[in-house]
Amino acid sequence: MEYYNGKEFSTRKEMYDFIVKNRIDIIAQKKAIKKTVDCGIIVHPVLVKENNIQQNKALSDDTKIDIEALKQLRAIVIINTTNYFDKHRDVHIPGLWDKSLRENKFIMHVQEHDSYEFEKIISSGKDLKAYVKKYTWAELGYPYEGTTEGLTFDSLIRKERNEFMLKQYAYGWVVNHSVGMRYIKMDYAFNDENYPNEYEAWKKYYPQIANKDEVDEVGMFCYVLEAKCIEGSAVPMGSNSATPTLITETTNVKCLNCNKEFDYNSVPEKGMGYVECPNCKSVVTQKTNIQPHKSTGKQIEPPVEALKIIDYIFLKQGVKQLKRN
């Protein structure tokens, strides 16, 4: 059984035929709505002293900073990455942001995709620089070959503008980012020689995709050549497993099954963003980090909701295992 665009198909060919027959309408629908795609990672926020915008050292557990008295914080975050097959079955192709970044001077860094309320804006205007930077997956801590283009925000977060999010970043509780966007140019790729145009696109773009195993399961993807960036958001939960945080230097995690605490980096990863607990073999993700940043001696525990994170890769593998059993 195959699924796509809210419909169920008995065979993959039936799904391909549906997409080909309704391509114009499907693409028009995708272009008409604002999409939110979680595919970003955090790269070392940097403290700013008062009005001095020179970089200070990154926040870490041994930083003796009174966060309650903090006036502003500089955060450099990756909002979106290319060459990754996401939950929408879309793959963003390098270069898709170039035109938008040249023309759109009103991009905002916001909270939970809410760009319509002043209190939800984190930064904008002169406090925000948006640009594209090329990274290797290895540089970002991913076990993939090849490169990706990161839509990067260099954001100055001021206490007087959004005190709540200033503290969320300062304590290391922001672990996911998401882009609010509109698609401009896109089309489909199929792994089937009976569809010449789609198969040519498959051969062209498939080699650069990082998570090929997930693409192989469905044999198709929508490749996005151009998109308009509207905003980039801090979100409490990401839908894409490739969103680990690099905001803190500590890597202690806690198994939610047996409560064992251990160093995440002390055991090999079983997949993107998760390991097996050395005690009970349960899955533990990077998002169960138990070491918040410290202020002047007062330790604040992260909210319980921050631990309620769904690992979509593990969930999918579990379903497969159940089917085999």
CA–CA distance from 276 to each of 130, 141, 269, 286 (Å)?
37, 18, 8, 11
Other CB atoms within a 10 A radius of the CB of residue 320 amount to 11
Residue bearing tokens 């002043």: 118
pLDDT at 201: 98
- Cα–Cα dist 279/304, whole Å: 23
pLDDT given at position 39: 54
Among 118-127, 191-200, 256-265, the range scoring the smallest mean pLDDT is: 256-265
Check residue 114 and give its pLDDT.
80
pLDDT band at 270 (very low <50, low <70, confident <90, very high): low
Task: State residue 88's pLDDT score.
Answer: 87
DSSP 218-267: HTEEEEEEEEEEEEEEEESS-SSS---EES-S--EEE-TTT--EEEGGGS
What is the pLDDT, as a whole number, of residue 97? Answer: 96
Q: Whole-angstrom Cα distance, residue 222 to residue 185?
A: 10
Q: Which two tokens stand for residue 140?
A: 């970002």
Tally of CB atoms within 10 A around 55: 13
Q: How confident is the model at residue 45 (pLDDT cuts 50, 70, 90)?
A: low
Tokens of 259: 């409560």
Dihedral angle over CA of 311, 31, 228, 166, nearest 10: -40
Categorize the per-residue pLDDT at 146 as very low, low, confident or very high, splitting at 50, 70 and 90. very high
Gap between the Cα atoms of 304 and 290, Å rounded: 11
**pTM of the complete model beyond 0.95:** no
CB proximity list for 268: less than 8 A, separation 6 or greater? 275
Average pLDDT, the chain: 78
Confidence bin at 321 (pLDDT 50/70/90)? low
> Is residue 133 within a helix (H) or strand (E), and if so which, with residue range?
strand 128-136
Per-residue pLDDT for 313 more than 70? no
Most confident of 207-211, 273-277, 281-285, 311-315: 207-211
Of 77 and 220, the one with more pLDDT: 220
Task: Give tens-digit pLDDT for 178-231.
Answer: 888 999 999 999 999 999 999 999 999 999 999 999 999 999 999 999 999 999
DSSP summary character for residue 187: E
User: 78 with 244: CB under 8 angstroms?
Assistant: no
Closest CA to 31 of 40, 23, 39: 23
Domain ranges (residues) in the chain:
250-324
The pLDDT tens digits for 148-186 are 999 999 999 999 999 999 888 888 788 788 888 999 999
166, 75 in Cβ contact below 8 A?
A: no
Distance CA 243, CA 39 (A): 6
Q: Which residues pair with 252 in a beta bridge?
A: 263
